[in-house]
Structure 1
Amino acid sequence: MTGADSSPRSAAYLDALSQAIHKKLQRALGSTSQRRDLLQELFADIALEVDDRAKDIIFSKEEDVISPADDGINGLLCFYNVLADYFVREPENGKPILDLIVKLWSQSFVSHIFALLFHKWLFEVELDNPEMLLRYSSALVEGATNVFWIDIQTNTRRFQSLFHYLLEEVAAKHTRLNKIPVQAQRELYLLISRFILFYNSADKMDSFLKNCPAFPNAFLVGGPADIFITELTDQLLKLKVEPVLLHYLSQIKVLQGMELRMTTSTRLKTCLYSFTCPGGPMYPTRAVRHAAWEALDLLFPVGRYPRHLISLFFRLLYPWAAITTVVVAIIIAATKGSRAS
């Protein structure tokens, strides 16, 4: 919990925030032409970092400081962190907002908003309707996926606290995990598999794999580790932001010693090898190629030297690639020189 004060001033401020959210959702519901913009604005508002003035109101100031526990993950406290706790303490105040969200389910940014505001409410407040549980849990996975991809595209960790909650407070705790349908549990496992390295949670890998839900096609795809690696390799192939890809490759050493099926191992090896080759279809930078080679050699030491020899052989077969690199470097240097003069 973010430790919000229970004083009348704090309660009134949080109630005013929830009323403002409700009004904006009402406006979005009533305006087809402005709906997308209003929902995008609302998403941006709740994802904002809490400013000092708001912190003074929300948190107890007996010592004129906010404790580290109140200050979110990595010192970043956003409005959605505070509101998610508020809707657990005061679920009735969140019900009007939920009713409007349900009416706007299919609209852009609605799943984002639901995931940020109600991820704790879904697991910490008693819900009796199995049909709505399935709907809410599916929306949570969809919304969390969307906001995590925003972090990846911007190479930030604004939504890291949401990820940590899903990993440490849901996936690792059977009482909460079992609240949602089995299909949603599987979707959550796949979601966490894709982003666990990005959010620096490799140290939680062992416990995460032990809590893998049952998959009906496990006899085909393998166990928890195989399912995890399959999702991870798919994620790697989708990454286009170089610093993020380098981060994944630097974290991948945690996979060393993991027992995998041969097909899964080959899948991972092929994925990493695709990042070692210059040109299409991945067009990796030099830094990415070097990081991929390091990961490949660490995870698959057998065959290391033959791989490098084969790579060198193919590069010699296509000298034009090296020539093109040199020509481009000369042109860039000449352009910089002419600008400087």
Structure 2
Amino acid sequence: MEQPQADRRETYLAALTLEIQKKLQKALNMPVQRPRLLEVLFADVALEVKDEARDSTLRTMYLAEIILNKEEDEITKTEQSLCFYDLLADYYVQAPQAGNSIVDLIVQLWSQYFVSHIFALLFHKWLFEVSVENTEVLLRYASALVQGSSNIFWIDIQTNRRRFLSLFRFLFEKVAIVPHERNKIAVQARRDLYLLLSRFLFFYNLDDDMLETFIKHFPAFPNAFLIGGPADVFVIEITDQLQKLKVEPVVLHYISRMSTLQGLELRMTTSTRLKACLYSFTSPGGPMYPTRAVRHAAWETLDLLFPVGRYPRHVISLFFRLLYPWCWPSSCWNFIKTCIRAFFCYFINKIIASWEKMRRPDTKSS
């Protein structure tokens, strides 16, 4: 008699769990090869189910057409490809005891770099479903979740991909803005979680109206009298994050998304910090060395958020541009290209308008 699909799915998930357990045990027994083994395991767990470009042990055992157990239309509608960690995280929620052996091995490997990554991917849902009585252990789990998620999101930043979007959405939609869920973790870990989500919120491109909801659910910070309210904390994290970015498309995306900050009530110090951050991207040279596209995007966002003093800022910027004589040729050339492009567009529009005007009598006569 043929085994039901649900049972087969659970069988393969259990086989995957056993394979992960074996790899963790191997890493524990082989200290010299431990970093490499954990790195490979993390890559396997983060692998897309339908990825055919890599020969993965997990993929070989998994048999994607059996284990998916989802409608194909549902999969194609998602913004990202389905990864192994998505399915395993759901499995450990449905069968918490299945992941206990993996958690025990992870605890023995806490000090290793990729361990927090693996824990965050596999047990980000499990952590909010199981009951952990020991407060110290719960704090350790929550801290590992935040630290691992931060490192994982930086991988997406560096590659300009959103493979870990489902992890971010879970932490945001199922934890951060759900009071009874976020209260399951310690206060310090909860604050760190909100700071983490603040840094990557613009990158994962959630709806603009979610920003207001997110800020309303911010926890209280002990130094709030120094740094300000939730909006100030959020903007401080965003400005710090923006200054760390090195990938041009990601920088452009962040700067364009910062237009959603318009209308936020900020302290003078926070507003000045935001203005200085954007202004640092408007000039060529160090320390940012922004490209022309980044400079123009920064100017547009800066003028949108801070319209007062717009023209004096541009005059001062022009003065300081004179201090970089090696940039004059490129600036002049870009100015000439812009003028030629504008003239060409104007000329083409005139020709099209004249042609349309000449056709109108023929249309009326016919």
Which residue does 2:160 correspond to in 1? 155
Q: Secondary structure at the match of 1:258?
A: coil
Which residue does 2:120 correspond to in 1? 115
1:19 aligns with 2:24: no
- Report matched runs for 1:178-193 at 5 Å: 178-193=183-198
CA deviation profile, 1:12-61 (whole Å, cap 9, x unmatched):
00000000000000000000111001000000001000128733211337
- Of residues 132-141 and 316-325 in structure 1, the stretch that sits farther from structure 2 once superposed is 316-325
Please state how far the C-alpha of 1:127 moved relative to its aligned partner. Answer: 2.1
Give the unaligned 5+ runs of structure 1: 328-341
1:284 aligns with 2:309: no
Which residue does 1:330 correspond to in 2? none
Which residue does 2:103 correspond to in 1? 98
Q: Is the 8 A contact 1:72 1:81 kept in 2?
A: no
Q: Is the 8 A contact 1:190 1:231 kept in 2?
A: yes
Which residue does 2:360 correspond to in 1? none
2:205 to 200, 206, 212: 200
Q: Is the 8 A contact 1:59 1:66 kept in 2?
A: no
Letter in 2 for 1:40: E
In structure 1, distance between residues paired with 2:238 and 2:197: 10
In structure 1, distance between residues paired with 2:275 and 2:319: 19
Please state how far the C-alpha of 1:314 moved relative to its aligned partner. Answer: 1.6
Letter in 2 for 1:244: V
Q: Is the 8 A contact 1:273 1:296 kept in 2?
A: yes
1:87 to 86, 89, 92: 92
1:235 aligns with 2:241: yes
Which residue does 1:251 correspond to in 2? 257
- Of residues 100-109 and 314-323 in structure 1, the stretch that sits farther from structure 2 once superposed is 314-323
Which residue does 2:50 correspond to in 1? 51
Q: Is the 8 A contact 1:198 1:244 kept in 2?
A: yes
In structure 1, distance between residues paired with 2:327 and 2:253: 27
Which residue does 1:306 correspond to in 2? 312
Instruction: Indicate the RMSD between aligned Cα atoms, in angstroms.
Output: 1.8
Q: Is the 8 A contact 2:284 2:290 kept in 1?
A: yes
CA deviation profile, 1:85-118 (whole Å, cap 9, x unmatched):
0000111110000000000001010000000000
Q: Is the 8 A contact 1:40 1:109 kept in 2?
A: yes
In structure 1, distance between residues paired with 2:81 and 2:207: 21
Which residue does 1:40 correspond to in 2? 39
Please state how far the C-alpha of 1:67 moved relative to its aligned partner. Answer: 4.2
In structure 2, distance between residues paired with 1:234 and 1:196: 13
Q: Is the 8 A contact 2:80 2:165 kept in 1?
A: no
Q: Percent identity?
A: 65
Please state how far the C-alpha of 1:84 moved relative to its aligned partner. Answer: 0.3
Q: Is the 8 A contact 1:193 1:232 kept in 2?
A: yes
CA deviation profile, 1:267-291 (whole Å, cap 9, x unmatched):
0000000000100010000000000
Please state how far the C-alpha of 1:326 moved relative to its aligned partner. Answer: 8.0
Give the unaligned 5+ runs of structure 2: 52-61, 334-366
- Of residues 204-213 and 46-55 in structure 1, the stretch that sits farther from structure 2 once superposed is 46-55
Using structure 1 for the length normalisation, give the TM-score. Answer: 0.90
Which residue does 1:144 correspond to in 2? 149
CA deviation profile, 1:172-193 (whole Å, cap 9, x unmatched):
1011100000101100010000
2:227 to 221, 226, 232: 221
Using structure 2 for the length normalisation, give the TM-score. Answer: 0.84
In structure 2, distance between residues paired with 1:40 and 1:326: 49
- Of residues 9-18 and 199-208 in structure 1, the stretch that sits farther from structure 2 once superposed is 199-208
Letter in 2 for 1:35: R
Letter in 2 for 1:60: N
Q: Secondary structure at the match of 1:198?
A: coil
CA deviation profile, 1:292-321 (whole Å, cap 9, x unmatched):
000100000000011001111121344333
Please state how far the C-alpha of 1:126 moved relative to its aligned partner. Answer: 2.2
In structure 2, distance between residues paired with 1:254 and 1:216: 27
Considering only CA atoms, is the larger Rg found in Structure 1 or Structure 2? 2
Aligned residues: 319
- Of residues 118-127 and 252-261 in structure 1, the stretch that sits farther from structure 2 once superposed is 118-127
In structure 1, distance between residues paired with 2:326 and 2:122: 54
Please state how far the C-alpha of 1:202 moved relative to its aligned partner. Answer: 4.5
1:60 aligns with 2:65: no
2:176 to 168, 171, 175: 171
Q: Is the 8 A contact 2:282 2:290 kept in 1?
A: yes
Q: Is the 8 A contact 2:120 2:145 kept in 1?
A: yes
Letter in 1 for 2:152: V
In structure 2, distance between residues paired with 1:320 and 1:112: 45
Which residue does 2:276 correspond to in 1? 270
Q: Is the 8 A contact 2:80 2:162 kept in 1?
A: no
Q: Is the 8 A contact 2:42 2:118 kept in 1?
A: yes
Q: Secondary structure at the match of 1:127?
A: coil
In structure 2, distance between residues paired with 1:86 and 1:185: 25
